[in-house]
Amino acid sequence: MEQYSVLMSVYHLNSPEELKQSIDSMLNQTIKAEQFVLVEDGPIADELSSVIEGYCVNNKSLFTVVKLSENQGLGKALDAGLLQCRNDLVARMDADDISLPERCEKLLKLFEANPKLAIAGTNINEFYDDPSKVVSSRVVPNDYKSICKFMKRRSPFNHSTVMFRKSEVLRCGGYGKMRRKQDLDLFARMINMDCYALNINESLLLFRSNEGNYKRRKSWEYCKSYIDVMRENYKRGYCSLIDLAFVTVGQVIMHVAPMGVMKFLSDTFLRKQRK
C-alpha cells in the first residue's frame, strides 16, 4: 500500500493538550505515516514548542518541522508544508481534532482501489468537551457525481479528514491566496480541473466544536470569504447565478441573524443532531 505524509499546521492559539491528542491520534493509525510534517505558523508559545520538540526527539526520522517567521494563515502555512511532504499521498489533520485509528487505512484502501482518485475524505462527528459525547455529525456526499453537485453551493469535504495527491493539489494551484475558506477554494478548483473525488460514508474523525466555531462562522470575514469563493466559481462557469445568489443570501443571513437564530439554522440545515 502506498506510503503517505501527514500535514498539520500549528499556531499560537492552539492548546498544547489538544495538540497532543491530535498528534497521538495520527501516530496511532492502524497504518502508520512515513512522514509527519508540522508547520509552525509564526511564533508559538514555549509550551507548544516543548510538545513538538518532545515528539521530534522520540521520532527523529518521522517529523519534519517547518517554522514560519510570522503568521501567514492556514492556507499559506499548508502550502509551505506541502512542499516538504516526501510522499504524493498526504493526509490532512488539524491540531485540535482526533482521528479514529482506521481513518488513514480506509482512505489508503480507497486510493488503492481507485488509481485515478485525487482527493477523498470522510464524515465527521462533532463534540464539545468530551470526545465520547458526540453532539452532531457533518455528512458529506460520497460519490463523484454528488460531490460535483454539492460543490456548487457548499464544501463536499470535511477538510481535516481529507487525503489527497500532492501532485494534483500543486497542479491546481495549492491552497492559494485566500486568508479564509482556502480549503473551499482549493476543493472547488480541484473539482473544476477534473480531479476525481470520493468520500467514505463513515465518520472517521472527531471534530472539536465550541462557541468559537459559531462566532467564526458568523464573522463577516468568514461569510465574505465564502461568497468570494463562490463568486470565483461563477466566473469559472462552474456554478450558476442562482447558486451564487443562494450562497450570498445564505451567508448574509448567517452574518446578520442573532446568534441563537444562527445556531438554529446551522444545526438544523448543516448538521445531523445526535439525541
Residue 39 has which C-alpha cell? 508547520
Angle 259-269/241-256 helices, nearest 10 degrees?
140
DSSP state, 274?
A: P
3-class DSSP state of 71: coil
pLDDT of residue 272: 66
CATH number of the domain located at residue range(s) 4-214 in this protein: 3.90.550.10
Q: Inform me whether the pLDDT recorded for 270 exceeds 80.
A: no
Instruction: List the end-to-end C-alpha distance of the chain, in Å, as a whole number.
Output: 39
> In Å, what is the CA distance from 213 to each residue of 20, 109, 219, 223?
21, 32, 10, 13
Q: Inform me whether the pLDDT recorded for 217 exceeds 70.
A: yes
Give the pLDDT mean for 114-143: 94
Better-scored residue on pLDDT, 178 or 28: 28
pLDDT tens, residue by residue, 32-49: 999 999 999 999 999 999
Q: How many CB atoms lie within 10 A of CB 207?
A: 24
Percentage of residues in the chain having pLDDT higher than 90 = 73
pLDDT of residue 42: 96
pLDDT of residue 211: 64
3-class DSSP state of 89: strand
Give the pLDDT mean for 12-19: 95
CA distance 147 to 157: 8
Percentage of residues in the chain having pLDDT higher than 70 = 94
CA distance 232 to 246: 15
Give the pLDDT mean for 52-64: 93
Q: Which of 178, 165, 269 is nearest to 230 (CA)?
A: 178
Better-scored residue on pLDDT, 58 or 214: 58
pLDDT of residue 58: 87
Compute the mean pLDDT over every residue in the chain, rounded to the nearest whole number. Answer: 92
CA angle, residues 8, 14, 17, in degrees to nearest 5: 95
pLDDT of residue 226: 87
According to DSSP H, which parts of the chain are helical? 16-27, 46-58, 74-82, 103-113, 144-150, 166-171, 182-192, 211-218, 220-236, 241-256, 259-269
Domain limits of the chain?
Answer: 4-214, 215-273
CB within 8 A of 94, min separation 6: which ones? 8, 9, 22, 159, 160
Q: In degrees rounded to 5, what are phi and psi of residue 115?
A: -60, -25
CA angle, residues 109, 143, 271, in degrees to nearest 5: 100
